[in-house]
Amino acid sequence: MATRLRPSSKRCAVIGGSGFLGRHLVEQLIARGYSVSVFDIRQSYELPGVTFHLGDLCDKQALLSALQGVSLVFHCASPAPSSDDRALFQKVNMDGTCTVLQACREAGVQKLVLTSSASVVFEGRDIKDGKEDLPYAKKPIDYYTETKIQQEKLVLAACDKEKGFLTVAIRPHGIFGPRDPQLVPTLVDAARKGKMKFIIGDGSNLVDFTFVENVVHGHILAAERLRPESPLCGQAYHITNDEPVHFWDFMSQVLVGLGYDAPRYHLPYWLVYGLALLLWLLALLLRPILQLQPTFTPMRVALAGTHHYYNCSRAKEDMGYKPLVGLQEAITRTVESYPHLRQGG
Ligand SMILES: NC(=O)c1ccc[n+]([C@@H]2O[C@H](COP(=O)([O-])OP(=O)(O)OC[C@H]3O[C@@H](n4cnc5c(N)ncnc54)[C@H](O)[C@@H]3O)[C@@H](O)[C@H]2O)c1
Ligand SMILES: CC(C)CCC[C@@H](C)[C@H]1CC[C@H]2C3=C(CC[C@]12C)[C@@]1(C)CC[C@H](O)[C@@H](C(=O)O)[C@@H]1CC3
């Protein structure tokens, strides 16, 4: 019989540790004296103190070998929202998360911190200062959101103090920062194609964008405060920059910072949303013969034209969370980190 290593409290695993958030989390964990095993389908960097285990999180045996001697697991793996692949989201975010839970229990892991998303409550309608008690979206706009809801439910329901397996979910919103493959690159790509001239709606909608280092801080606080007697067990926590900003001001700051023009002309929200829906249907119909990836998806248009900002006082009260980096500094640092995406660069 295989011997099980005794879990050490400073030994953790990051599932999805090769990704944008995962890598920032790994770097901070190393700086705080943890030894880290990264489990991912790819290896995107090397770092002293980090061991890479390549595998799919749907494969329990592969997970089990990576979780040996680990007491704390962060699960921040997911297919990219832009893939819009229902089968893949179900397999990885739902079935795969069940496998992660089984593997954690079998390997004797004591704590699991899930990266969920504030979007689990977003249905395309305004959310102002939303608290964690908002109901899950009944009609999620895309497959990504649909499976993130199921994933969060699975993880929170698995919290079991008697069996010594504690879980918590972090719900960040609009993560940005250096090395993000999604927000800034998509924005710049759209600007280069001349698609960022327009403001969707009247431009007054307030939203949260959260600097990646603040999201990492929230994850580590949650892990360290998660104990049998703490209020964190089986709960979800919003982690934001706590500085809602006008969506189009944020986009303009990033674009202008990189040398592009800010969007200027207004288009009615419902017109753009309707067009995005038509385009999505067309892409779905043509999928067997042609792979279309529209820039303006219904989800992106909804996010660009509504209020969606969240209250993070639960995280402040229960885990002493406070953003470490303010929004202006975060935007400056992010813009500076993308010299290759500058206009003419
Ligand atoms: N980026 C955001 O704005 C945002 C906001 C809220 C929540 N989240 C959540 O944060 C987490 C991290 O997102 P990110 O932006 O860093 O994404 P990312 O794509 O950069 O990282 C995800 C990582 O998961 C890995 N992965 C995917 N499928 C896997 C599988 N089957 N087995 C093992 N590894 C697999 C990928 O290889 C990648 O390294 C995700 O769970 C996402 O839902 C992201
Ligand atoms: C083409 C324009 C209208 C917009 C260009 C920028 C967009 C690519 C981003 C603006 C808001 C971003 C965002 C996400 C992806 C990238 C944007 C749409 C998420 C949907 C990614 C997944 C997360 O879980 C969501 C969350 O709740 O944090 C993100 C919400 C914001």
| For ligand 1, atom 6: residue with the closest CA | 117
Residue 44 Cα: closest atom of ligand 1: 39
Conformation bin of residue 179: beta by default, left when phi > 0, alpha when psi is -120 to 50: left
Is 219 inside any structural domain?
Answer: yes
Is 227 inside any structural domain?
Answer: yes
Quick one: which ligand is closest to 175's CA?
A: 1
pLDDT band (50, 70, 90) for residue 83? confident
Domain that holds residue 71: 9-176+209-240+310-324
Instruction: Give me ligand 2 centre to Cα 184, in Å.
Output: 10
Is 277 inside any structural domain?
Answer: no
Angle at 208 between CA 243 and CA 316, to 5 degrees: 60
Is 171 inside any structural domain?
Answer: yes
Quick one: which H or E segment has residue 217? Answer: helix 212-225
Q: Kindly list the protein residues whose Cβ atom lies closer than 6 A to any atom of ligand 1.
A: 16, 18-22, 40-42, 56-58, 76-80, 92, 96, 115, 117, 148, 172, 174-175, 181-182
103-129: pLDDT as tens digits: 999 999 999 999 999 999 999 999 999
Is 336 inside any structural domain?
Answer: no
CATH number at residue 37: 3.40.50.720
Percent of the chain with pLDDT over 70: 97
pLDDT at 1: 42
Query: Which stretches of 61-155 are assigned E, i.e. beta strand?
Result: 70-75, 111-115, 127-130
Is 281 inside any structural domain?
Answer: no
Is 221 inside any structural domain?
Answer: yes
Alpha carbons 77 and 71: distance in angstroms, whole number:
18
Alpha carbons 170 and 127: distance in angstroms, whole number:
18
Q: pLDDT at residue 3 above 60? A: no
87-107: pLDDT as tens digits: 999 999 999 999 999 999 999
Q: Which two tokens stand for residue 232?
A: 């964190």
Among candidate residues 111, 127, 91, the one with its CA nearest the CA of residue 170: 111
ipTM of the complex as predicted: 0.98
Any idea which residues carry the catalytic annotation?
A: 144
Sign of CA dihedral 333, 338, 339, 341: negative
Query: What's the Cα-to-Cα distance from 275 to each of 3, 199, 270, 284, 298, rounded to whole Å?
Result: 58, 15, 8, 14, 9
Predicted TM-score (pTM) of the model is 0.96
**In the β-sheet with 127-130, what is the strand arrangement from edge to edge?**
127-130, 308-310, 206-207, 245-246
Sign of CA dihedral 277, 278, 283, 285: positive
Quick one: which ligand is closest to 19's CA?
A: 1
How many domains are contained in the chain?
Answer: 1
> Between 247-257 and 327-336, two packed helices, what is the crossing angle to 10 degrees?
40
Is 264 inside any structural domain?
Answer: no
Alpha carbons 109 and 67: distance in angstroms, whole number:
8
DSSP 156-201: HHT-BTTTTBEEEEEEE-SEE-TT-SSHHHHHHHHHHTT--SEEES
Q: pLDDT at residue 189 above 90? A: yes
Q: Kindly list the protein residues whose Cβ atom lies closer than 6 A to any atom of ligand 2.
A: 81, 117-119, 172-174, 182-183, 186-187, 190, 295-296, 299-300, 303-304
Quick one: which ligand is closest to 245's CA?
A: 2
